[in-house]
Structure 1
Amino acid sequence: MKSQDETLEDWCRALLQALELEDVDVDINEVLGLAGVAAHSIVRPAAPLTTFIAGFAAGLASGSGQAPDDASMRAAMAVARKLAKDYGASEASGA
């Protein structure tokens, strides 16, 4: 029986292949970490929404030539992570 990590790696590889993105390197742990921050800082359904929007922004930045794929993804995820943490903190303080 495959572990959860193996299953996620297999799924990621299959999805990338189906979308003709075999050359894209996905850091699964980073994506899941961002999802965790969004889920705990905002509300649980913010996790997939946040990761989708960050990925979309990274794709636009990369596709327009603003930055290479890896830099685009790191930047978009960093913005999303900081915003989620700040949003969660301001909501907790009642601001």
Structure 2
Amino acid sequence: MNLHDWIDELCDVLDVDVEVDEGLLLDLARVSAHQVQHTSAPITTFLLGYAAGASDADPSEMEALAAKATALAEQWERPAGAPDPEVDGVEVEVPDDRGVDHSTDVFEDA
């Protein structure tokens, strides 16, 4: 199975009918991972998709949103010597809260 097959199957499972420009998403993820932090890649692409969906963006608007996100990532300046937890081998402990029910959590807007 290749990436395009995976995307097709995932869209079926998630019940979404959308054309995915995997090259655009992969390019954005790569720039974000290298310029910001390795773990920013999936969050960046998720937020791009969310923004595109919220604005009902067509393919050219999606490209424009991706260009804005890419430009931000390209100009992002990590503090000198700041470790990237995934790249520099620094262990970052992330608590496992899969057993915690967050359905009643309340978050305040900043």
TM category, shorter: 0.7 to 0.9
Who wins on radius of gyration, i.e. which is larger? Answer: 2
How much does 1:20 deviate? 2.4
Counterpart contact for 1:35–1:47, Cα < 8 Å: yes
Q: Where does 1:63-82 land on structure 2 (aligned, <5 Å)?
A: 68-82=57-71
- Structure 1 residues not aligned, in runs of 5+: 63-67
Are positions 1:86 and 2:86 aligned together? no
- SS of aligned partner of 1:91: coil
Task: Tell me the TM-score normalized by structure 1.
Answer: 0.74
The C-alpha deviation readout for 1:63-94, integer Å capped at 9, x for no partner, is xxxxx42133212211110000111xx3367x
CA distance in 1, matches of 2:14, 2:19: 13
CA distance in 1, matches of 2:69, 2:46: 10
Give, as a single letter, the amino acid of the residue that structure 2 aligns with 1:58: A
Task: Indicate the residue corresponding to 2:98 in structure 1.
Answer: none
CA distance in 2, matches of 1:47, 1:37: 8
Judged with a 3 Å threshold, the aligned counterparts in structure 2 of structure 1 residues 16 and 61 are, in CA distance, closer, same or farther, namely same
Task: Indicate the residue corresponding to 1:9 in structure 2.
Answer: 4
Match of 1:33 among 19, 27, 30: 27
Task: Tell me the TM-score normalized by structure 2.
Answer: 0.65
Number of equivalenced pairs? 80
